[in-house]
Amino acid sequence: MARPNQARLDLAALRHNVGVARALAPQSKVMAVVKANAYGHGAVTIATELDGLVDALAVACIEEAVELRDAGVSAPILLLEGVFEARELATAAQLGFWVSIDNEWQLQWLEDAIVPEPVHCWLKVDTGMHRLGVAANRTEEFFRRIESNANSSGEPVIYTHFASADDVASEQTRQQLQVFDAVCANLPAQRSAANSPGVLAWPEAHYDWIRPGYMLYGNSPMAAPHPNAQALQPVMTLTSAVISLRDVPTGEAVGYAASWTASRPSRIATVTIGYGDGYPRLAPNGTPVLVNGQRAPLAGRVSMDMITVDVTDVPGVRVGDTVVLWGDGLPVAEVAGHVGTIGYELTTRMPARTPRIIIER
Ligand SMILES: *Cc1c(COP(=O)(O)O)cnc(C)c1O
């Protein structure tokens, strides 16, 4: 028997989630964010499935965009951090990538570049997150310089990014929207602001383009349960299997550093997945997994290749039984909550060691 670990990818769920985003923002075009290997799902698989279904794709950098073009993906691809050096602009022009202009250095490179054809630009405005983007009061100056430059094609799209949109009570999002509306007011530009939480919870932020990432993978980015997130279906289900079973008497400890001790006669299942397979080492005792569809708590430290699970309350567990670490029936965000991180990190860190398997449905 082969090692049973799989990151199962449900592409029907991916298509369904695109539909959820479109239904929430029917007037907007959809730019699907597939950076960081499509949040760990596999960028070529995901982008190939989305090609033609969405209006554009977005990645962090040109290396990620080239990988997709090489794989035959034909959609426009925005480089969200723009270029890191001037000579990338010629490649971007050649391969039809769109580039973000985030600062004066990138604008200068664009103005000085010799490119085979003009490049479509997105101008990023810093409306309060203070990470990337041009100062709000310089938006018009940057916009005019880009649109009048022969190396730029079409009107630049003006966009911004939210810091706290996952919190529906956030004043910061309202303030960012105010700044954004003010700087765009007199410019003949398409606009974009909404990441996944913006799509789900801030209809006033939908504008001409939405930029969902995380929600397309079927997970809710919201800090609290949100009705618009309920229809999402997880794309990745991480599965493994029981490889060993034992009875542990009261008072005996399990695993490295003896961090879990049986408080009753316990049945412990050893599952062949660990931090070397993308399951977080910091998952504490009590983190839920599904054994034969039933919840059972982690018992003992996560090892590189294994975890141990208390299946005392799950009847009839046998070697070979399927274990779900997250996905269908167990949201990755819930697991991440136990670990003190977000679901984004758990899927994005999935190593190549764990095979991605496309399931048909
Ligand atoms: C990553 C990213 C997104 C997508 O964010 P999600 O929360 O995954 O939807 C959108 N816009 C920009 C600029 C990003 O960097």
Tens digits of residue pLDDT in 42-95: 999 999 999 999 999 999 999 999 999 999 999 999 999 999 999 999 999 999
pLDDT of 1 higher than 70: no
* 39, 159, 214, 256: the active-site residue: 256
pLDDT band at 361 (very low <50, low <70, confident <90, very high): confident
Mean pLDDT of the chain: 97
- pLDDT, position 270: 98
pLDDT band at 360 (very low <50, low <70, confident <90, very high): confident
Ligand 1 atom at minimal distance to the Cα of residue 60? 15
Query: What is the Cα–Cα distance from 340 to 87, expressed in whole angstroms?
Result: 40
Burial of residue 115 (number of CB atoms within 10 Å: 0-12, 13-18, 19+): middle
CATH architecture of the domain with range 236-359: Beta Barrel (2.40)
Tell me the backbone φ, ψ of residue 351, rounded to 5 degrees: -80, 165
Nearest CA-CA partner of 134 in 98, 167, 105: 105
Tens digits of residue pLDDT in 209-258: 999 999 999 999 999 999 999 999 999 999 999 999 999 999 999 999 99
Q: Is the CB of 33 under 6 A from ligand 1?
A: yes
Tens digits of residue pLDDT in 253-292: 999 999 999 999 999 999 999 999 999 999 999 999 999 9
Q: Is 278 helix (H, G, I), strand (E, B) or coil?
A: coil
In contact, 269 and 348? CB cutoff 8 Å:
no
Q: What is the mean pLDDT of residues 301-326?
A: 98
Could you list the beta-strand ranges (E) of the chain: 6-10, 29-33, 56-59, 77-79, 97-101, 121-126, 134-135, 157-159, 191-192, 209-210, 236-248, 253-254, 260-261, 266-271, 288-291, 294-297, 307-310, 322-326, 356-359
Name the pTM for this structure: 0.97
Tens digits of residue pLDDT in 44-58: 999 999 999 999 999
Where do the domains of the chain lie?
11-218, 236-359
Distance 60 CA to ligand 1 centre (A): 10
Question: With pLDDT > 70 as the criterion, what percentage of the chain qualifies?
Answer: 100
Query: What is the Cα–Cα distance from 245 to 151, expressed in whole angstroms?
Result: 65
CATH class of 11-218: alpha beta
Element (H, E) at 183: helix 171-184
pLDDT of 100 higher than 90: yes
Q: Is 279 a catalytic residue?
A: no
Ligand 1 atom at minimal distance to the Cα of residue 159? 13
